[in-house]
Structure 1
Amino acid sequence: MTTTDGHILALDLGTSSARGLVLSAADASPIPGALARHKIAPTYGADGSATLDLHEYVEGLLGCLDELQQNGHLDDIGAIVLSSQWHSIVALDSSGGALTPVITWADTRSVDLDLGPSFDERAFHARTGAWLHRLYWTRRIPWLLSTASPSAFAGLPDLVLERLTGERVTSVSVASGTGTLDLTSGGYDDEALEIAGVRADRLPSIVPTGWTGALSKEYARRWPGLVGVPVHPPTGDGAASNVGTGGYDSGTAAVTVGTSAAVRVVHPIDDAPELPWELWRYRVDDKRAVTGMAFSAAGNLHAWLTGVLRLESAEPEGVEIGASHAVAIPFMAGTRPPANVPSGSGVYFGLSFDDTSADLLAAALQGASLEIDRGLRILDSLFGRELEVVLGGGGIDASHWWRRCLTATFARPTTVCAEPEVGARGAAAVALGLSPAPGGEHLTPVPAEVSRVADLRTRYEALRELAIQASAI
């Protein structure tokens, strides 16, 4: 375990906000009141673009640190850690200037690749944990090379780290989310680089987990309390969320619900079980991997429906779990790989005039729960046991009904992480070797709810296949 004197400054680079918060060095819990947030508004275009303004993003993040300093929260910091969204990319010119905005995971622009019959995508997936999907740099970089003349490429966390320290480097965790990492060696994969059409020297150098940088002189003057404080490499948000929720061993699955959702298991990279085609695998740090499945409809689905339906409550009040005769297939934002259902494919089946707004919300949350359950059952099989489950994230925190619904759908007890800041907490735990416990309520599945969801499952699966077929028309 690495220890640190003083508190921990965590920078959380999300899609909807950039935040700075101060954590306790003992257990990575937030210090009350020591939080500054800059809201982010991604720009979406009819061409499939989903981007962030890099300058605005970074300046907003720096403003968060200014706010923390003004309120006296940067005087006792012993470490700086980062948690960041995975999969972002920026094309850079020869001097390191940005030629593009930050291209996020939600951006659908890329190129189709025809690699011929000799390419073995299953072997590629087993080695890199990724597919040849637009989410990854193997398809993003060829597209960017066809539209501009970039000299290099980097992700949002790499550029934030460069802005703070003057060094453009990345972590094995962030690099694994690009789809170009050899998971076993921890270096860039030769075949992935060949497919992308770049050499490794055009990408950020990968530093070990124990690497630290220091703030540049400019920021040493701006925040004197941070002079000499080590800056640790960033952790991908999925890995950080797992560890921060308390899911950091191969017997525990963490279900996190933020803007999107995921179910994941952290395990040693050595002797890792063979990766099923349906799952991805990234790195947590030098010694650990995280295997899981992600879903595009979660907190964004909940927020959208409560707004569209003008619900005063975030809960589907009066609707019993598993009892709604309406079935929602939550493909509003499409699916993640390896499935390729496009956005705009969400479907409701079985609507009637006696359905209420609460029924529609309940059906959507139930559909999202069944999608997550698909991933959990694959992970059960992979690790040869019924996994324990911890729940965390803002979506979990927002709805007691949804927590109960997930517990009934999984048909097993769950533990709810009491700390909503799971990404920042996890980044601190990875950097400093902490093992935070969930520390929240324990939920036991209600037999009647479990039975109703079990009865619904067969109908849901059949209607899900219809929705997938319809999305291809």
Structure 2
Amino acid sequence: MTRTDGRILALDLGTSSARALVLSAVDAAPVPGALARYKISPTYATGGSATLDLHEYVEGLLGCLDELQQNGHLDDIGAIVLSSQWHSIVALDNKGSAVTPVITWADTRAVSLDLGSSFDEHAFHARTGSWLHRLYWTRRIPWLLSEGSPAGFAGLPDLVLERLTGERVTSVSIASGTGTLDLAHGSYDEEALDIAGVKADRLPPIVPTGWTGSLSSEFGRRWPGLVGVPVHPPTGDGAASNVGTGGYDETTAAVTVGTSAAVRVVHPIDDAPELPWELWRYRVDDKRAVTGMAFSAAGNLHAWLTGVLQLDSDEPTGIEIGSSRVIAAPFQAGTRPPETVASGSGVYFGLSFDDTAADLLAASLQGASLEIDRGLRMLDSLFGRQLQVVLGGGGIDASAWWRRCLTATFARPTTVCAEAEVGARGAAAIALGLSPDPGGEHLTPAPAEVDRVHTLRPRYTALRELAVKASRELG
């Protein structure tokens, strides 16, 4: 990996937007005004469908580049990097054309698998970092094969890269999010392929981190300043966000709050600690992995509540952290594997006529903080130390109350990343060997807030157990 003398063009392939932005080559900080965004509206339908229109998505992204070009921002670009949502899949025909929309991580359609008593899912999880969950290609490909006769499969970032360069390849980072990668060897896992019912030649080839492509002649004519600029393979958004936040070694956990939330640690893949069943592990690049836990309720929960409750403020004004009588298990969007709490399982307990909209918002943000804390404590144990914590992402940036709540819940100091564009920044850092500093404010937990959260924790744990049980029995 080498640094670039020019600025960096970052393409960020999210679920709610496709973005193009220009970053400084020194510290991967966004260049003021050099950002273009295309809003994406996933299509949700009965049966668990959650999809994106591939053509609209790609054309929207290309339009972002046109906008940057028109405003003079595509000059002096030395590298093109990509950060992308993990877990998407598209079925392809024998000509490589898409025969399905982009099926996102939120789509719940998949086949159930019965592999018999000889299958060792714990060994499979230790090797691939994933479970036999509908999130992964091990269950999605058999479902797609049962619905038609696709010749191949690829993810959204693979097809964006192909549109730009003419080469359909994937990175070890993106491949790890499919659940079909042997993490230690960085190649497709034979047992995972057998379960999915495909050979490796039906999936995009995995290229090393140092691979680069170049824009096709079509786009060279469209954006002359990008001719010959190396295009680096994409990085999964979770790995990119960790590094972009400043959590790029095993001393530091990064907590990122966007649409969903996660707590993760980046560490060498060699001699990695044994993976606990409750955590996932993916790859950052050829030498590093990222281990963590993800949560389905975060910024989406905050946005939903402020809309439903018609709050004038995004903050639970007047509510002291840890003080609300109301407790909430934030399972409105269910849970990630290995737990199987279904969407629609959110719970409030302790409501009275004295409670306000601010009480409900505070209880939900506190519940989400306690969920993240569960993952952080597992990572503390895994790496044998109390980890330093950096906070980043749009949800962190939007709410000072939530930043303080997380700090009190973790009962340790935190550092807030000064840059909101952590995914794009991290993709640049990974591709070019940069080590960005968080550069933001340092928060110290208030003892009174820590004590109140400590007192609240057993009540939350009891409610959580009831919510999980009710989801299984009533779902």
**Alignment deviations for residues 296-342 of structure 1 (CA, whole Å, 9 cap, x no partner):** 00000001100111111100000000000001100000000000001
Letter in 2 for 1:231: V
SS at match of 1:317: coil
CA distance in 2, matches of 1:5, 1:74: 14
**Alignment deviations for residues 267-299 of structure 1 (CA, whole Å, 9 cap, x no partner):** 000000000000000000000000000000000
Q: Offset of 1:380 from its aligned partner?
A: 0.2
Partner of 1:117: 117
Equivalent residue runs for 1:395-406 within 5 Å: 395-406=395-406
The size of the alignment, in residue pairs, is: 473
Letter in 2 for 1:164: L
CA distance in 2, matches of 1:351, 1:52: 38
CA distance in 1, matches of 2:339, 2:437: 34
Partner of 1:204: 204
Letter in 2 for 1:70: Q
Identity %: 85
CA distance in 2, matches of 1:154, 1:28: 29
Q: Offset of 1:449 from its aligned partner?
A: 0.3
Q: Offset of 1:200 from its aligned partner?
A: 0.1
Letter in 2 for 1:343: S
Partner of 2:421: 421
Equivalent residue runs for 1:110-149 within 5 Å: 110-149=110-149
Letter in 1 for 2:220: A
CA distance in 1, matches of 2:223, 2:363: 49
CA distance in 1, matches of 2:320, 2:43: 38
> Could you state the TM-score of these two structures normalised by the residue count of structure 1?
1.00
SS at match of 2:311: coil
Letter in 2 for 1:29: A
Equivalent residue runs for 1:306-317 within 5 Å: 306-317=306-317
SS at match of 1:231: coil
SS at match of 1:255: strand
Partner of 1:20: 20
Letter in 2 for 1:47: G
**Alignment deviations for residues 84-118 of structure 1 (CA, whole Å, 9 cap, x no partner):** 00000000000011110000000000000000000
**Alignment deviations for residues 328-380 of structure 1 (CA, whole Å, 9 cap, x no partner):** 10000000000000100001011000100000000000000000000000000
CA distance in 2, matches of 1:381, 1:388: 13
Q: Offset of 1:6 from its aligned partner?
A: 1.2
Partner of 2:378: 378
TM superposition outliers: structure 1 runs of 4+ over 4 Å: none
Letter in 1 for 2:457: R
CA distance in 2, matches of 1:33, 1:398: 20
Partner of 2:346: 346
Letter in 2 for 1:162: E
Q: Is 2:424 the counterpart of 1:463?
A: no
SS at match of 2:22: strand
Partner of 1:305: 305
CA distance in 2, matches of 1:250, 1:279: 15
Partner of 2:37: 37
CA distance in 1, matches of 2:148, 2:423: 34
Question: Structure 2: which 5+ runs fail to align?
Answer: none
SS at match of 1:179: coil
Partner of 1:193: 193
Equivalent residue runs for 1:66-215 within 5 Å: 66-215=66-215
Question: Structure 1: which 5+ runs fail to align?
Answer: none
Q: Offset of 1:75 from its aligned partner?
A: 1.0
**Alignment deviations for residues 201-242 of structure 1 (CA, whole Å, 9 cap, x no partner):** 000000000000000010000000000000000000000000
Q: Offset of 1:433 from its aligned partner?
A: 0.2
Q: What is the RMSD computed on CA atoms of the aligned residues?
A: 0.4
Q: Offset of 1:458 from its aligned partner?
A: 0.5
CA distance in 1, matches of 2:98, 2:128: 27
**Alignment deviations for residues 128-155 of structure 1 (CA, whole Å, 9 cap, x no partner):** 0000000000000000000011000000
Q: Is 2:355 the counterpart of 1:355?
A: yes
Letter in 2 for 1:417: C
SS at match of 2:111: coil
**Alignment deviations for residues 432-465 of structure 1 (CA, whole Å, 9 cap, x no partner):** 0000000000000000000000000011001101
Letter in 1 for 2:352: S
CA distance in 1, matches of 2:414, 2:75: 38
> Could you state the TM-score of these two structures normalised by the residue count of structure 2?
0.99
**Alignment deviations for residues 4-42 of structure 1 (CA, whole Å, 9 cap, x no partner):** 121000000000000000000000000000000000000
CA distance in 1, matches of 2:468, 2:364: 16
SS at match of 1:138: helix
SS at match of 1:361: helix
Q: Is 2:23 the counterpart of 1:7?
A: no
CA distance in 1, matches of 2:285, 2:3: 17
Q: Offset of 1:471 from its aligned partner?
A: 0.8
